[in-house]
Structure 1
Amino acid sequence: MSADQPRTPGRTGSSGEPLVHPVDWAFAARTAEALTAAGPRTTAREARREAEGLRAAADAAVPHVHRLTGLEAARGLRDSQVLVVDRPTWSRANTQSFAALLGPTFARLQATRPAEYEAATLPVTTRATALEMGGILAWLSSKVLGQYDPFSALPGPDGEPAGPAGGRLMLVVPNVVQVRREIHVDPADFRLWVCLHEQTHRVQFAAAPWLREHLQAEITGLTGGLFDKAESLPERLRSALATANPLAGSARGRGEGAVAGEVPRDGPAARPSLGLLGALQDEEDRARLSRVTAVMSLLEGHANVVMDAVDSSVVSSVKTIRRRFDERGDRRSALDKAIRRILGMDAKMAQYRDGQRFVDAVVSEIGMDGFNVVWDAPELLPSEAEIHAPDTWVARIRAEA
């Protein structure tokens, strides 16, 4: 249960020297491993059976995603790694993605603000930031059931991608076991249910090969904006890290990570607290965040629609899993809910709800084939305003057709 090791930063900066990041990524990964809570007790035989079951479920999910979405990209999908991992490996893999995503931003900052960048890359500063980053990843690593990471295919700090062209799908064994035991559901059904969501993300990026670069560009613009207007680089680094990999920001699946309270429905400005992203400076930054939020709402909502489309002929205990999984989210401790709010995970869960309502409404109006034009080009993606008013997106698509 291992993934590629994090690479030592080596991207060339403006001076021609290797670019040193303001985060010691290797130290962040080691910190996360040291702080990660122990998972549920399993024997070696149980762990092996769980890993084999998850791999089988990941394979079995793809034909169902193909049937439910109608996306040809799902037919015989073999574009990316499927990794069955433990908690420290998930954290280590995410440091790779963060490093790849933030590399262009850091190179730009070294060129435009060299004195401040040099101060931000002193060893004591990079270790301090990595320590905090490691703590966040350690906490998240016990919550995430699975994650499709398209950004592992981007060039890493050494110029080489961390994974194959299609990215990688990670299934976190101890968390799947823990949640399944807590809600007392059938092991095989629960594995397939989780994998349906994650494989849908994989299919989305296969159906829209431009999507990874598009999302990377938006995230680079947003993180760059956060740094450009900062009085000091370290004070914005936490916000940039929280922004950099939205697909890694929460657990996967219906209701996982939910917090109490409904989200207002009167438009993009009515988002819940954005946690570490609350320091956005101006309209340009907010517009970038709005575009990223719209894309993530689309991706998460679409994956949840696929999960909800299966019936008992595919997942025999699906109704029980849905009910108990949702109820589990209501039993979180006050401390757990507070941490989620600080990290902006209430905003993440709003993306699931808003996106699912959008996809349901569009499919109801123009069918799945009509909805699927969203994967054809960046200009066909919904805006955040359209996520909250699906009829406006449908009207725009009809007019453009």
Structure 2
Amino acid sequence: MSQQSSDTAAPSTPASMVNWDLAAKTAANLAPAGPALKAAEISRAVENLRLMADKSVHHVHQISKLEAARDLRDSEVLVVDRASWAKANTQSFAVMMDPIMGALAAKAAANRTAGTPANSAVSATVTGAQLGAALAFLSSKVLGQYDPFASLSPDAAGRAQATGGRLLLVAPNIITVERELKVDTDDFRLWVCLHEQTHRVQFAAAPWLRHHMLSEIEKLGGLLVGDTDKLGERLMQAAKSVGGRKAAGDGTPSRGGVLDLLQDPEQKAALSRVTAVMSLLEGHANVVMDGVDPSIVPTVRTIRQRFNNRGKERGVLEKFIRNLMGLDAKMRQYSDGAKFVRDAVAIVGMEGFNTVWTRAENLPTEAEIHNARLWVDRMGL
């Protein structure tokens, strides 16, 4: 169903620790087939999604009051199929993981455990195949995604790209879900685009945010370099969580998946900062998408109710994979972040809340995500 796909080449990582091309090909081969559509149906769906993406920007501006929504020419909108989404994500993963891979390579060299080139190639192949399989699973779950790191990956000729990111709308998944929920097509597509375009506006309003996130991810990854031997333990933890997730051992809420095994205080602090940012971004997007009234999306309440009820019953294998990847933890980020945004706006208004996009120091901590008054007081609002 892909109408556009990127020819961007993922940057090579030190010691070729991940075969990114293999990851993209594996994901494309393993991704489940989308709904069977004729060429004319595909063309109409792509055109309609583009229309809804354009239409949603005005509403994002009206609800969020972010002036950045007036001009989003620094990024692009792509309507893609599952394979193209997977390929785009291997490129983003390569950007995010490049410094972490460098740390791993340095550690291996210092410990004289880098192995022969042949061993490194085998390891990169295995890792690439594993990542591809994970992306194949995710490729049928994601409706849309704003990728802020797209421009940090060089194109096939090694040239830097445009300054912004790219918004990916995964057409097969949107069509599948709207049919499954039996909701109005135009309403559902506009509703989805409201969420994804909000992410696009967030990064346009806070151009420093992309590099701030990369810096935090690099810090967390650097702390985890010494913990790579615990992968087996993490897999067992994910397997046990299939039967139902419990709180972490220290009584804190479980984030889900492999992240529950972080024990070092510095690791937990780094993860807390990343979690807070992600909760803010996802929660804010949810508040905007649900901020439209029935005059804009007539069936918005029906869509939200059916969407929330969707997927409550999952098979054991899917539960295992979701828990391993922390997907259910991500859903909690949506709800926690949305409550923070609503509470903050209720106290200081949307204009006061929008100071969060001014600088990194204004981002909420994880504790503030759960208590908006703490953030409001710290901001002096």
TM-score, normalised by the number of residues in structure 1: 0.85
Residues 1:93 and 2:88 aligned together? yes
Contact 1:66–1:74 (Cα < 8 Å) also in 2: yes
2:44 counterpart residue number: 49
CA distance in structure 1 between the partners assigned to 2:156 and 2:48 by the alignment: 35
2:373 counterpart residue number: 391
Residues 1:376 and 2:373 aligned together? no
Q: Given the alignment, which residue of 103, 106, 110 partners 1:108?
A: 103
- Deviations for 1:261-309, whole angstroms, at most 9, x for unmatched residues? 8998x9x963324313234241111100000000000000000000111
- Classify 1:394/1:117 alpha carbon distance in 2 versus 1 (closer, same or farther; 3 Å): farther
Shift of 1:76: 2.9
Shift of 1:319: 1.4
- Classify 1:327/1:231 alpha carbon distance in 2 versus 1 (closer, same or farther; 3 Å): closer
2:79 counterpart residue number: 84
- Classify 1:261/1:301 alpha carbon distance in 2 versus 1 (closer, same or farther; 3 Å): farther
1:337 counterpart residue number: 319
- Deviations for 1:307-343, whole angstroms, at most 9, x for unmatched residues? 1110111112111111111121324334323321121
- Deviations for 1:218-270, whole angstroms, at most 9, x for unmatched residues? 001111111134449xx49x99xxxxxxxxxxxxxxxxxxx998998x9x963
- Classify 1:169/1:26 alpha carbon distance in 2 versus 1 (closer, same or farther; 3 Å): same
1:138 counterpart residue number: 136
Matches for 1:30-49 after TM superposition, within 5 Å = 30-49=25-44
Greater shift, 330-339 or 165-174, is seen at 330-339
Shift of 1:100: 1.1
Residues 1:367 and 2:349 aligned together? yes
Greater shift, 123-132 or 329-338, is seen at 329-338
Contact 2:10–2:94 (Cα < 8 Å) also in 1: no
Contact 1:152–1:162 (Cα < 8 Å) also in 2: no
Residues 1:66 and 2:61 aligned together? yes
The SS at the match of 1:270 is: coil
Residues 1:190 and 2:225 aligned together? no
Q: Given the alignment, which residue of 162, 173, 176 partners 1:175?
A: 173
The SS at the match of 2:310 is: helix
Residues 1:283 and 2:265 aligned together? yes
CA distance in structure 2 between the partners assigned to 1:2 and 1:216 by the alignment: 27
The SS at the match of 1:39 is: coil
1:2 counterpart residue number: 4
The SS at the match of 2:146 is: strand
Greater shift, 188-197 or 107-116, is seen at 107-116
Matches for 1:294-373 after TM superposition, within 5 Å = 294-373=276-355
Shift of 1:163: 4.6
2:239 counterpart residue number: none
- Classify 1:161/1:39 alpha carbon distance in 2 versus 1 (closer, same or farther; 3 Å): farther
- Classify 1:41/1:101 alpha carbon distance in 2 versus 1 (closer, same or farther; 3 Å): same
Aligned partner letter, 1:293: T
TM-score, normalised by the number of residues in structure 2: 0.89
CA distance in structure 2 between the partners assigned to 1:339 and 1:354 by the alignment: 23
The SS at the match of 1:37 is: coil
Residues 1:21 and 2:19 aligned together? no
Contact 1:10–1:158 (Cα < 8 Å) also in 2: no
Structure 2, unpaired ranges of 5+: 236-241
- Classify 1:132/1:263 alpha carbon distance in 2 versus 1 (closer, same or farther; 3 Å): same
- Deviations for 1:92-125, whole angstroms, at most 9, x for unmatched residues? 0000001111112222333343133456971111
CA distance in structure 1 between the partners assigned to 2:57 and 2:251 by the alignment: 36
Aligned partner letter, 1:276: V
Identity %: 51
Q: Given the alignment, which residue of 200, 210, 217 partners 2:208?
A: 210
Alignment length (residue pairs): 368
CA distance in structure 1 between the partners assigned to 2:63 and 2:185 by the alignment: 23
Contact 2:283–2:335 (Cα < 8 Å) also in 1: yes
